[in-house]
Amino acid sequence: MALSLSRLPSFSGRPGPLLLVIADGVGIAPAGPSNAVTEAAAPTLDALTDGSLPHTLATRLAAHGPAVGLPSDDDMGNSEVGHNALGAGRVFAQGAKLVNAALTTGSLFRSDVWKTVIGHGRSHTLHLLGLHSDGGVHSNNEHLYHLLEVAADQGVRRARVHILHDGRDVAARSALDYIAQTEQVLTKINEHHQADYRIASGGGRMTITMDRYGADWAMVERGYHCHTHGVGRPFASAGDAVRTMYDESDAGDQYLDPFVVVDEQGSAVGAMADGDAVILYNFRGDRAIEISLAYERTEFSQFDRGTHPSVYFAGMLQYDGDLALPTNYLIEPPTIDRTISEYLCAAGVRSFAISETQKFGHVTYFWNGNRSGYIDADLETYVQIPSDNVQFNTTPAMKLREITDRTIDLLRSGDYRFGRLNFPNGDMVGHTGDLGATIDAIEVLEECLTELLAVVEALGGVLVFTADHGNADIMYTESGGVRSPKTSHTLSPVALAIYDPGYGGEYRLAAPPDAGLSHVASTLLNLLGFEAPPEYQPSLLAF
């Protein structure tokens, strides 16, 4: 059925453009020395988000747990599900929730893909690759353990686990705890089934394998050769590798170098061979796409794979529906349809989306319901500013000024009714655990936000400010006088602020008690002068 929008009878929108600013990772938490947002000199941001800036209405939104399709209120939000909710106007069961259900019901193990994996594993080796923690953003070790245990029960006697240290969605130096837990599971399986299950390789998630949006293919190359061909620093065990690297530097887990586990002869214990099966057990798509391409595609030119083994590769989910990647996957992803972009294109509304590489896919791919490419290339413009390949605490401004300059050009062109941007530095710098650098990041955000507010006012438009989840708002925890950097997302709510210089009382805020990110799409449509589709979560506005 063709999509259509009806006009609001009492409000047609402002004459100028509507701009949505998503300040990635900027949540709302109590003020204090660990809160980079409140510690920063950011008077405009403060006034905007508390509603004291003239012409501003403000409220708070839930950005974690069930509000964004995750299992429980203990589950931190993340950029993927946050932008899905923002762009879809509804809540869909997401990543961990889908996997939990498939494991609980056993539907995963009844799939043809799982049966094929087991067939390869019985005659060759089963490899499981993924982020090694219980952070719940990209993966969960409980999922890994369940897969391993069922594989052993079903006759797989040789398995290798290729781990990617986290230190980003969990404590900065927690890899040894997770390794100990996994080794315990593997030992139990080996003893019970007379099996050979081992950790075979690994490295930090920001060093190998988990690149996204083509920002640093060299990461993927290092990971591919480490996991596939056993290329890396040799150690007798994963624990030995991490302890040695801890002694050598202060780097957090996410930045640790690649390693391989070797036998007494110095040979890698987990190199892959023809006929093996490989499961990428991450459920989040953005950092799974490139390594999936490296394993699955026959024609591949991003780097030299050497002797590429013929393995049966499967993802936990399909990570990109448009690319049909991977071909084989264990669980059907949510079908996110009728996104706000689809409705706006159907109504002939011209729009733009912009960010730098690190978050470009969030305002395009995730915003559009895990769909690559344009909805309508005649009506949409997507702008990607290349990110630098650095540790982001060394460049806390990231590309905010470039994003801002290009956004202003797009706004002033008069070609667009709606635009959306992602300012990534609250999240990307926040993930480093560097409080000072994150404060600097927020102050650059303040500078750019102030500039955008002035331009929107001059053009007779409206600016809507929000975030996809928290991060920069809690930068460390403290126990017994000892501070521990917090590199993960938070459970904090986020701001929703509407800056409307032409405001004359035409509407008011009427946020429901359960207001979350999925209520934003209806709100944006109202500000553009449209009724929200009946299937969307209610608007935050009343007319």
Catalytic residues: 79
CB atoms within 10 A of CB 192: 11
Q: What is the DSSP letter of 253?
A: G
Per DSSP, the three-state class of 383 is: strand
Cβ atoms within 10 A of the Cβ of 432, count?
24
Give the helix/strand (H/E) hosting 115. helix 112-123
Tokens of 533: 């589709």
Q: Is 277 in contact with 117 (CB distance < 8 Å)?
A: yes
Residue with token string 């013929």? 310
Q: Which two tokens stand for residue 349?
A: 């509304």
CB atoms within 10 A of CB 350: 18
DSSP type of residue 67: G
Cα–Cα distance measured from residue 485 to residue 472, given in angstroms and rounded to the nearest whole number? 11
Q: Which of 149, 287, 152 is nearest to 215 (CA)?
A: 287
Rounded to 5 degrees, φ, ψ at 129 are -125, 135
Strand (E) or helix (H) holding 268: none
Residue closest to 360 by CA, chosen among 341, 344, 376, 383: 383
- Residue 294 neighbours by CB under 8 Å, 6+ apart: 220, 224, 300, 302, 303, 305
Find, among 11, 62, 17, 7, the residue nearest to 464 by Cα. 17
**Extended beta strands in 189-232, E state:** 196-204
Collapsing DSSP to helix, strand or coil, 252 comes out as: coil
What angle (nearest 5°) sits at the alpha carbon of residue 460, between those of residues 454 and 465? 60
Report cis status (omega within 30 of 0) of the bond before 9: no
Strand partners, 351: 380, 418
Q: Which neighbouring-strand residues pair with 160?
A: 127, 198
